[in-house]
């Protein structure tokens, strides 16, 4: 049997930009994505804490150290600059691996700097 568990989470990420004309995805500053093990083009689930929207998309890396969290394409309709997001990824694993698994989690402050971490 395999189980789907939370692999990584970026909590309270503040939206810094939006581009309706972009082809899609969520831009995440590369250092933030790498801190929780998110890879470019990895599927993510995003929850907007301000309006309750939830959507799936994929990661693209933004400039390291920029704090970028940008809604691209259709997702630009699902939030606005300043909204807080929870960004999650999941992984399938067998029961033995699941028993000892701990997700990588960071909590960001208002400037998208890491405030707390369980990485």
Is residue 94 within 8 Å of 2, Cβ to Cβ? Answer: yes
> Is 89 a catalytic site residue?
no
Of the residues 25, 30, 61, 89, only one is catalytic, namely 25
Rounded Cα distance between 101 and 24, Å, is 31
Catalytic residue among 22, 58, 66, 90: 58
Known catalytic residues are 25, 58
């Amino acid at each position: 049997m395999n189980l789907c568990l939370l692999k990584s989470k970026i909590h309270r990420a503040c939206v810094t930009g939006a581009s309706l004309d972009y082809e899609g995805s969520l831009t995440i500053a590369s250092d933030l994505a790498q801190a929780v093990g998110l890879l470019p083009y990895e599927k993510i689930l995003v929850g907007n804490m301000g309006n309750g929207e939830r959507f799936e998309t994929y990661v693209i890396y933004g400039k390291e150290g920029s704090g970028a969290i940008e809604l691209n394409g259709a997702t630009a309709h699902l939030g606005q600059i300043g909204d807080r997001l929870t960004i999650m990824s999941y992984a399938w694993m067998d029961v033995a691996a699941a028993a000892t698994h701990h997700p990588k989690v960071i909590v960001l402050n208002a400037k998208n700097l890491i405030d707390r971490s369980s990485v």
